[in-house]
Amino acid sequence: MSKTLELTKELISKKSLTPDDAGCQSLLANRLKDVGFNIEHLKFGDVDNLWATLGDSGPLFVFLGHTDVVPTGPIDEWHSDPFVATDNGKLLVGRGTADMKGSVAAFITSIEAFLEEKPSLTGRIGVLLTSDEEGPATDGVCKVVEHLEKNDEKIAWCLVGEPTSDNHVGDVIKIGRRGSISAKIIVKGTQGHVAYPDKANNPIHNFSSPLSELSKLVWKDETGKFQDSVLQISNINSGTGATNIIPGNLVLDLNVRHSPSTSTEQIKNDVESIINNYSIEYEILWDIGGKPFLTTEKELIDAVMKSIKEVTDMDPTLTTDGGTSDGRFIAPTGAQVVELGPGNASIHKVNESVNKEDLDKLHLIYKTILLKLVTKA
């Protein structure tokens, strides 16, 4: 079994349910320290973060990942213990194999293999790990970035190990992500008896027309790299449960995943303009989950694409779809950000798994990227 698979199995054995790191970062820090990295353990709130660097000068290349995992779901639906990595033919099964302990293991083993060749470094290498990616993401990478900026530490290139691949490792990479903005709308009415609607004010009825308009909102992408932005209603709650009471309020949650073409201010204005066309008393609370980003510079993209081609003989598809990632905190600093990891078909599901051969190829791709970016040609 390869060193990458062995390290993945060791990481899976640590029950790091978000935001608990469960000792993953200490294990990885020791491996990095052994090959000359400077180690910083950065604790914010209940979240463990690891910042490790190697080298004295030159542009900084960073592997970005997370050690936390989502809950297992129904244990009785797993075919094996989710925290014991289990060989199943071509697959390695366990919580976090794909998202994203396999990638994290490949970070470390690719660095070790790269340094065994005693390369002449033209840049620096960093590893940034958090245990707060699957949770609120308030004390993880965003806080580490603040720490780095206070210390004038600038990342040139960032490779995020999120599971991006569809059928084979390296067939898809992400060069950007949509932003996320959410709102909670509280529509106020007057509770009363259904037999006396003239003495009440039904917020469900009042909001039915603006709701219909909101659900049809579309913001066109002008970059040619993203899907158009649409508004999605995720929750609606109203009423007491009784059939003879007109409710006193309605609470609605919505979310928009948007491209760089559409600002959060535009979304706010368009949503509120629709509601303001009606005689409705309401309150709206906005929350920006992340800004969109798009890497247009070719240096990192070319290094990743050429490395994939050399290892797999495939030309990857470049996309910006899917949810958010911690890359949204790195991109605003001016860094080039690309995401590349194993297959994502089983992430967050019971019996999560990763193709073992894909992980070994990922190790080679990561090593090849290092050779292209931080060594002399």
First to last CA, the chain: 32
The burial of 115, by beta-carbon neighbours within 10 Å (0-12 exposed, 13-18 middle, 19 or more buried), is given as middle
- Three-state secondary-structure class, residue 75: helix
Q: Is 133 a catalytic residue?
A: yes
For residue 236, give both structure tokens. Answer: 């609606």
19 cis-preceded (ω within 30 degrees of 0): yes
- Give the residue from 35, 34, 28 showing the smallest Cα distance to 14: 28
Q: What is the DSSP annotation of 152-180?
A: T---SEEEE----BSSSTTSEEESEE-EE
Residue 73 to residue 94: CA distance in whole angstroms: 12
Q: Which long-range contacts (CB under 8 A, 24 or more apart) does 193-201 make?
A: 193/244, 193/245, 193/246, 194/243, 194/244, 194/245, 194/246, 195/244, 197/246, 200/246, 201/246
For residue 184, give both structure tokens. Answer: 């909670």
Residue 28 to residue 34: CA distance in whole angstroms: 10
The burial of 362, by beta-carbon neighbours within 10 Å (0-12 exposed, 13-18 middle, 19 or more buried), is given as buried
Residue 129 to residue 69: CA distance in whole angstroms: 13
Distances (CA, A) of 76 to 94, 107, 126: 14, 32, 40
Q: Are 52 and 38 in contact (CB under 8 A)?
A: yes
Candidate list 21, 68, 162, 221, residue with the active-site label: 68
Residue 207 to residue 279: CA distance in whole angstroms: 10
Distances (CA, A) of 248 to 186, 192, 245: 10, 8, 9
Segment holding 204, helix H or strand E: helix 203-214
Candidate list 21, 133, 352, 360, residue with the active-site label: 133
Q: Are 3 and 111 in contact (CB under 8 A)?
A: no
Residues taking part in catalysis: 68, 133
